[in-house]
Structure 1
Amino acid sequence: MAHMVFCAKYKQEMEGLDEAPFDSDFGHKIYNNVSKKAWQEWLEHQKMLLNEYRLQPWTPQAQEFLVEQMQQYFFGDGSTLPKEYVPPAAG
């Protein structure tokens, strides 16, 4: 049976992740409160942040920034877009 959660982003019961994304209290908070759908959307958002801010994900500064953005994305007012960001044209 699928792991079900009340998704913090969508505010409804949805299928959760198969396992915690990282072994920490925050990773378990995500496992218990974030749906697979919301997590996939975060991964796309994270790619955009990495590219727009030209982050090197192995650096502690980038990791700290991404965790802060993830906290806002799921449990706050939403992750902010870079000022210069232009979404790709739909097509």
Structure 2
Amino acid sequence: MARTVHCVVDGIDTEGLDFAPWPGEAGKRVFAGVGKPAWQRWLTHQTMLINENRLSPLNPQHRAFLEGEMLKFLFGGGADKPAGYVPEG
């Protein structure tokens, strides 16, 4: 049976994540209050950040940056696109 959470991003009851997607307190916070649709939007945004800024998830500084952006995106009312970002098409 799927776990239901009240998603703080979308403001609705929705299916919750299956596991904490990030280590530590940030992961616990996401697991407790973010639904799958909002998490999928974050993953799309994160991929764009990694590609546009040439980040490596293995680099501790880059992971710290991504964690900060994740918290802004999910709990801080959204996050900005990288400077100079132009979407394709």
> What TM-score, normalized by structure 1, do the two folds share?
0.91
Q: State the alpha-carbon separation in 2 of the partners of residues 8 and 51 from structure 1.
A: 27
> Match of 2:78, SS?
coil
Unaligned runs of 5+ residues in structure 1 are: none
| Worse-superposed segment, 67-76 or 79-88 | 79-88
> Match of 2:38, SS?
helix
Instruction: Give the number of equivalent residue pairs.
Output: 89
Unaligned runs of 5+ residues in structure 2 are: none
> Match of 2:46, SS?
helix
Give the % identical residues. 44
**CA-atom RMSD, angstroms?**
1.0
Q: State the alpha-carbon separation in 2 of the partners of residues 84 and 22 from structure 1.
A: 28
> What TM-score, normalized by structure 2, do the two folds share?
0.93
User: 1:10: which partner in 2?
Assistant: 10
CA drift at 1:25: 1.6
Moved over 6 A (4+): none
Q: In the TM superposition, what whole-angstrom CA distance separates every residue of 1:9-39 from its partner, at most 9, and x where no partner exists? A: 1111110101111341211110111111111
